[in-house]
């Protein structure tokens, strides 16, 4: 039996999905990652937690497709994302499955693979991790509870996501907090039990399915700082004390490398790419900081991690970074990053034609396949399909493109539009 996860994957041999001269999903993804044109564009749906589908939208999609009425399984509760089941994966030709620690979904090892259904606001049922404590208030909505029973996140009645319950506001301080670098502590190891579980899970997927794997976990984001420094102070500190900030981030980067070394030993022979960070560095209008600050303070940490991966790992490096980050991409390429997601083409300076012209062939665009902000949720299916075909024609030549929309498919997207998007990506 495979290691337990939400729904698992059926025992399908690598040659069991595609016939004739078609590539397997794993071959298709490998070609794209190495800037070769596969038989068709690889499609990612839920390979990581920013390429998935809202559980509410997924339930409607299943009903639209005439599939079973089993409640969608919410594996990411904060974002309310659904686990993709095999009939849906095969219907659309999805090529990538996630590999992540079991504690990303469940709190206890004993609960892995177990679910509890709950009736949602719209009358449908959704299944949640069985060991997830939820406090249902008839007036205020649903609350997530921590180990001590304290409420830490809330979804108001009629809402679709859990938001963190904020603590007391943190105001910028006159005396910038600067913990001594030698006192900083970053985790450098991974428990053997977790590594053994990941390896067993990855090996089972590799030997029994045709899919490529995108791994995640055990990395540090670098743009938000370290040592508990409030974000507002960190933004100031990068300008006032750039060397201090750079050196602290390099410590975090070295800890990341030590953990990725363990990941590579455990699953590197099976996994196509590993997410080194989910580290948003852009707003709708521009980057959080100047390019000069990025290159001086943050880029050395990324270069340390990505260079190590290129020299010592069989996996490609993957970064999730939302927003307008045009002026940072060249630096990320120089630092050795392989794959960029979600490619937010609706943000300033992120025109897809420009991105392909300037960076195509040097970094894999893992995203940008459909504008979720202006197109996917509000245009008719035929417009969505035409939009997706245009993006494929733009990004696909020469390889280096894995299709997924810009971030997750949200709860208000009609099922007809989801079908139109993925069918167009597949060339139908």
Domains in the chain: boundaries: 25-67+87-103+188-425
Give the whole-angstrom CA distance, residue 233 versus residue 210: 47
Query: What was the pLDDT predicted at 171?
Result: 66
Preceding amide of 269 cis, omega within 30: no
Band (pLDDT 50/70/90 cuts) for residue 173 is low
Over residues 180-196, the mean pLDDT reads: 95
Question: Does residue 321 surpass a pLDDT of 80?
Answer: yes
Mean pLDDT within 305-329: 98
| CATH number of this structure's domain 25-67+87-103+188-425, picked from the four choices 3.20.20.210, 3.40.50.12280, 3.90.1640.30, 3.40.47.10 | 3.20.20.210
Is residue 43 a contact partner of residue 404, using CB atoms and an 8 Å limit? yes
* Helices (H), ranges, 225-298: 231-240, 242-267, 291-293
Q: For the chain, what is the radius of gyration of the CA atoms?
A: 21
What's the mean pLDDT in 271-279? 97
Residue indicated by tokens 């304290």: 150
The whole-number pLDDT of residue 176 equals: 73
What pLDDT was estimated at residue 8? 42
Residue 10 reports pLDDT greater than 50? no
Task: Give tens-digit pLDDT for 212-262.
Answer: 999 999 999 999 999 989 888 999 999 999 999 999 999 999 999 999 999
- Whether 17 shows a pLDDT value over 60: the answer reads no
Mean pLDDT of the chain: 93
Query: In the predicted model, what is the mean pLDDT of residues 360-380?
Result: 98
Q: Which residue has the higher pLDDT, 12 or 241?
A: 241
Average the pLDDT over each of 28-32, 177-181, 273-277 and give the range with the smallest value.
177-181
Q: What is the DSSP letter of 116?
A: E
Q: Give pLDDT, residue 175.
A: 73
- Whole-model pTM: value is 0.93
């Amino acid at each position: 039996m495979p290691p337990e996860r939400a729904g698992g994957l059926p025992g399908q041999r690598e040659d069991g999905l595609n016939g004739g001269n078609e590539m397997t999903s794993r071959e298709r993804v490998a070609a794209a990652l190495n800037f070769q044109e596969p038989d068709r564009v690889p499609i990612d749906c839920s390979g990581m937690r920013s390429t998935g589908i809202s559980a509410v939208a997924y339930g409607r999609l299943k009903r639209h497709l005439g599939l079973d009425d089993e409640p969608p399984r919410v594996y990411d509760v904060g974002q309310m994302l659904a686990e993709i089941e095999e009939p849906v994966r095969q219907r659309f030709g999805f090529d990538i499955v996630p590999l992540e620690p079991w504690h990303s979904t469940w709190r206890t090892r004993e609960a892995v693979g177990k679910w509890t259904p709950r009736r949602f606001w719209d009358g449908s049922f959704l299944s949640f991790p069985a060991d997830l404590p939820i406090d249902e208030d008839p007036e205020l909505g649903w609350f997530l509870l921590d180990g001590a029973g304290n409420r830490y996140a809330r979804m108001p009645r009629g809402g679709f996501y859990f938001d963190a319950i904020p603590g007391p506001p943190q105001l910028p301080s006159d005396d910038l907090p600067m913990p001594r670098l030698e006192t900083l502590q970053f985790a450098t190891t991974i428990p053997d039990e977790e590594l053994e579980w990941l390896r067993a899970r990855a090996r089972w997927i590799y030997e029994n399915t045709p899919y490529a794997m995108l791994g995640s976990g055990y990395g540090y984001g670098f743009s938000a700082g370290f040592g508990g420094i409030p974000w507002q102070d960190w933004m100031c500190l990068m300008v006032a004390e750039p060397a201090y900030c750079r050196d602290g981030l390099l410590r975090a980067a070295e800890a990341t490398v030590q953990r990725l070394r363990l990941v590579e030993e455990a699953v590197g022979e099976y996994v196509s790419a590993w997410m080194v960070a989910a580290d948003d560095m852009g707003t709708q209008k521009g980057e959080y900081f100047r390019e000069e600050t990025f290159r001086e303070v943050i880029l050395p940490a990324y270069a340390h991690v990505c260079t190590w991966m290129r020299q010592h790992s069989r996996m490609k490096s993957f970064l999730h970074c939302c927003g307008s980050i045009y002026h940072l991409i060249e630096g990320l390429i120089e630092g050795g990053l392989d794959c960029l997601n979600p490619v937010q083409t609706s943000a300033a300076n992120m025109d897809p034609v420009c991105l392909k012209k300037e960076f195509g062939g040097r970094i894999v665009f893992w995203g940008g396949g459909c504008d979720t902000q202006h197109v996917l949720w509000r245009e008719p299916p035929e417009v969505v399909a035409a939009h997706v075909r245009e993006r494929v024609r733009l990004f696909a030549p020469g390889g280096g493109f894995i299709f997924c929309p810009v971030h997750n498919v949200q709860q208000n997207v009609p099922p007809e539009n989801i079908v139109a998007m993925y069918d167009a990506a597949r060339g139908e």
